[in-house]
Amino acid sequence: MKFGGTSVGSAVNIRKVREILAEEPGDVVVVVSALGGITDQILRAARMAAAGDPLFREELTAIRERHLEVTGALFSMPERTEVAQKAGAILDELDLVLTGIALVGELTPKTLDRILGMGERISSGIIASFLGAELTDSAGLIVTDSQYGKAAVDFRETNSRIRDAYEGFRGRRVMPGFIARNSHGDFTTLGRGGSDYTAAIVAAALRADALEIWTDVDGFMTADPRVISSAYTIPALTYAEAMELSNFGAKVVYPPTILPVYKKDIPVHILNTMNPKGPGTVITRSPVNGRERPIKGISSIQGIALLTIQGIGMVGVTGIAMRLFSALAREKINIILISQASSENTISIAIEEQKATAAESAIREEFEREIRHDQINRVIVETGLSIVAIVGENMRQSTGVAGKLFSTIGRNGINVIAIAQGASELNISWVVRSEDLRKTLNVVHESFFLSENTVLNVFLAGTGLVGSHLLAQIANQQEKLLRESRLKIRLAGITNTRQMLFNREGIDPAGFREALPEKGEKADIAAFVEKMTGMNLYNSVFVDCTSSETVASMYHRILSGNIHIVAANKTAASSEYENYLLLKRTAKQKGVKFLFETNVGAGLPIINTLNDLVNSGDKIISIEAVMSGTLNFIFNTISEEVPLSRTIRLARDAGFTEPDPRVDLSGADVVRKLLILARESGYHLEKEEIRIIPFIPAEYFQGSREEFWQKIPALDPLFEEKRKILAGGHKRWRFVASFREGQARAELREIEQGHPFYDLEGSNNLIIYQTERYNEFPMLIKGYGAGAAVTAAGVFADLIRVSNI
C-alpha cells in the first residue's frame, strides 16, 4: 500500500496525477493540497474583509473563476456541472464566512483555520471525481488541539480513527491535506505545508509500504538551484538529514512530515509530478551510498536577526539561558540557532528578523536588574543576516570538515558572525551577512565537491595583444580544462580603455570584440573594480593585461576585497618598496594570490623557481640575467644589412617591444625586472638604487615617439662600426642585469664566446641564479622571453595556480 501527497497547481498537474496512478500497482491513498494560489487568495480576501475593504468580493470571484477554469479543462458535461455544484457549496460557505468577517470587522484564528482549508476541500473533490476514486474527509479523521494555525495532532485518537476508516480498504482514495478538527469539531490546520504532514500521519497510522510526496522539484537538491546552477538531486538521505535540511530552509518537505514515518520506519520518496521518471530522493533510516562525501547538502534561511547578550556578570550564574529562552517563549518567538562562548559571558540567538524588536524588548524586560547593575552590559541586535547549514551524517566520521569549511569561507572574504554545531556532528550552522549568502553557498558547494567543477570568475583588464591572446587561449582550452581538470574559467567582467562589460553567468571569450561595443558601458577602472567587488562572486580573479599605473593603483583595494590578482603589468611589483610589501602582506592576510610570473621572462618559470628556492631555505647570492627579449632580438638581428633602426622596427612589428620602444631601449624595463627579482629574493631594493648605463644617448629619449623614429637612423653608422669590431673579436652584445651583495646594475656588455649569454638566440632570455646550494654550478633558466602569445600563456598558467589553492 502506498500513500502519496501531491501539490495540485493546475489541470495539467491533475492529469499527471492520473498518469502516475495508472502505472502504480496496489492500493493508494492520494492526499492533495489546494489548487495553486487559492489558499493565498482566500487569506487575502479574509484580510480585506476584516479591514472593511469591499473588494474582497473580487478575490472571491477570482477564486470561483479559477475553479471553473480547472473543472472546464478536466471534465465534459454533464459531469462538469456535478463537480462544479459540489465545489460551489464550499465556495458559498466561504462567501458566507467572508461576509460575516466583513460585518464584525474581525478575523480570528479560529475563523481563519475554517476558511483556509477550503482550498484543499475543493481540490480533493475535483481530483476524486477526475480519478473516479472515493473521497475521504481527513478533517474527520485527524484530531488536534485548538492551537489554530499550527495545531498539534492527538496521535492516539487520530491513529484509531484512521485505522477504523481504512479497515478492509482496497483500491484508491483521495483525501484533502492540511485540514483537521479539534475535539469540539471545529476546523484546524496543520501549518503551511501540512498536506505532506497529513500524508505522513495516514501512512504511519496504517504502516504503509511507502510514502510518496509528489511535488514540483526532482527531490532534495544539494543546494538551492536558483542560486547554484550546478546543484543536483540528492539520491538518498536519512530521516535525520532530511529533517535538518528542511528545518534550515529546504522547502521540499514540511519539517513535521518526517517524524511519523521515521517512528514506523517507512521510506519516503520525493518525486516530481512533471518528471515522474526522475529518480527523486529516497529518505530512509540508514545512509545509502553516502560514504564518498561527508556532507549531503547545503541549506539556508534568509531574513535572520542575531541577538547577543553580553556581560561578565553572566559567568557562572545558573539559569541565565533558561530565563532567556523562557522570555522569548512567552512572546512565541522561535529560536533557530544558539551560539554561546565557553566563557559564558555571551549568548547569541538567531531568530526571524521581524521578531527582533519584540525579542529585544522581552530580553531587556527579563534582565532589567542585571542590565541596571552592569552584570549584563550589552544587548546587541544585528539584522540583515542569513543562516547557512551543511548537513550530513558522515561528518561525524570525517575529520577536518569544520576546518576546511571555515578556511574556504575565510579565504573568500566572507565573515562568519556566529557558529553552532551539535555534538552529533550532523549539522554545522553559521551566520553571515545576507549580501554574502550567494557567495557562501557557491564556495561551500564547490569546496565539498558537491559541484563537479572548480569555477574561476575572471575579471580581465586589457584587451590588447596579451589580453586578446589570453582570451583566445581560454576559449581554445575550455573544453579540455573542463574534461581533464574539472576547471571552468568564467569570464565575468572585461574592460579596456573604451568599454566595460559584466555578466554573472559569463561572457563568451571568443566573442568579446562584438560584445563589448554592443552591450558594454563606458569604461572606468574605479567603477569596474567597484562593480567587481560588489558582485561578490566566489573564486574571483582580477587579471591585469595592461601596463597602466592607474590600474595597478587599484591592487590594494582589490586584494582587500579578497579577490586574487594575476598581473602581466609590472607597475605594482616594481613600485615603491613599501607599496610592494603592502600588496604582498595584504594578499597573505586575506588568503588570496598575488601572482605576477610574467613580469619577468613572459612565460618562463623565473619567479616561481626563485620563490621555491627562497621558501625552501636557500639564499640568493647573485643574479645575472639577459631578460629583455626585445634587446636580445635587436642585438641578435643587427647586421651589415639590417642596421640598428631597422632592428628596432622589426622588434616593434613582432610585438616584442612596449608600445613606446624607448622603454625597452632605455633599459627601464630590465631595471623593473631586476628590481622584482631582487625583492622576491628577500632584498629591500628601490628602483633608484639600480645603476643603469644607457647605450643610446639621452637626447633620443626626449620628444615624441614620432621624433624618435625620425632621429634613430642617425645612430646606425656608429653601431655598425662597433659591431664590426665586436664580430672580429668573436664577441656579441648583451644587455645584462646583475645583482650581487646588494648592488644592482644594468648595462650593455661585450660577451665572449663560451659564456652562457653568448649563444642566446632571437628574443630568448637567460637568468642565472647563484645560491648557497647552487654555488659552484649556478642554476640557469633559459627560453623564449618575449611576445604576446607566451606572455598570455604565462598569465594562463598563473590562473591555473589560483585554481589549485
Report the Cα–Cα distance between both ends of the chain, in Å, rounded.
52
Is 711 one of the annotated active-site residues of the chain?
no
Q: What is the DSSP string of 507-523?
A: --GGGHHHHHHHH-EE-
Secondary structure of 433-476 in HEC code, one letter for each residue: EHHHHHHHHHHHHHHCCCCCCEEEEEEEECCCHHHHHHHHHHHH
Three-class SS state of 221 = strand
Backbone torsions φ then ψ of 522, nearest 5 degrees = -60, 135
Q: How far is CA 109 from the centre of its chain?
A: 41
Kind and range of the H or E run holding 535? helix 525-535
Q: How far apart are CA 99 and CA 745, in angstroms?
A: 95
Secondary structure of 614-664 in HEC code, one letter for each residue: HHCCCCEEEEEEECCHHHHHHHHHCCCCCCHHHHHHHHHHCCCCCCCCHHH
> What is the 8-class DSSP label of residue 153?
B
Q: How far apart are CA 490 and CA 487, in angstroms?
A: 10
> What is the 8-class DSSP label of residue 415?
P
Listed in sequence order, the residues at least 6 apart from 40 whose beta carbon sits closer than 8 Å to its beta carbon are: none
Q: Output the CA–CA distances (angstroms, integers) from residue 52 to 94, 100, 118, 551, in the order listed.
A: 17, 11, 22, 62
Q: What is the DSSP string of 229-292?
A: TT--B-SEEEHHHHHHHHHTT-TTS-GGGHHHHHHTT--EEEEETTBTTS--EEEESS--S-TT
Nearest one of 391, 380, 392 to 350, comparing CA atoms: 380
Q: How far apart are CA 125 and CA 133, in angstroms?
A: 10
Report whether 714 contacts 696 (CB < 8 A). no
**Pairing relation of β-strands 564-567 and 594-595?**
parallel
Q: How far apart are CA 219 and CA 625, in angstroms?
A: 62
Report whether 187 contacts 177 (CB < 8 A). no
Nearest one of 291, 269, 286, 429 to 348, comparing CA atoms: 429
Name the amino acid, one letter, at 363: I
Task: Give residue for cell 459531469.
Answer: 79
Backbone conformation region of residue 706, classed left if phi is above 0, alpha if psi is from -120 to 50, else beta: alpha
Cell numbers describing residue 795: 598569465
Kind and range of the H or E run holding 80? helix 79-104
Specify burial of residue 480 (Cβ count, 10 A radius: 0-12, 13-18, 19+).
exposed
Report whether 429 contacts 336 (CB < 8 A). no
Q: How far apart are CA 108 and CA 86, in angstroms?
A: 27
Q: How far apart are CA 123 and CA 176, in angstroms?
A: 7
Q: How far apart are CA 184 and CA 224, in angstroms?
A: 42
User: Exactly one of 439, 570, 593, 673 is catalytic; which is it?
Assistant: 673
**Kindly report the CA angle at 87 between 84 and 93, in degrees rounded to 5?**
135
Nearest one of 252, 199, 198, 190 to 221, comparing CA atoms: 252
Q: How far apart are CA 793 and CA 785, in angstroms?
A: 12
Q: Output the CA–CA distances (angstroms, integers) from residue 169 to 162, 166, 662, 691, in the order listed.
A: 11, 5, 94, 99
Write out the catalytic residue numbers.
673
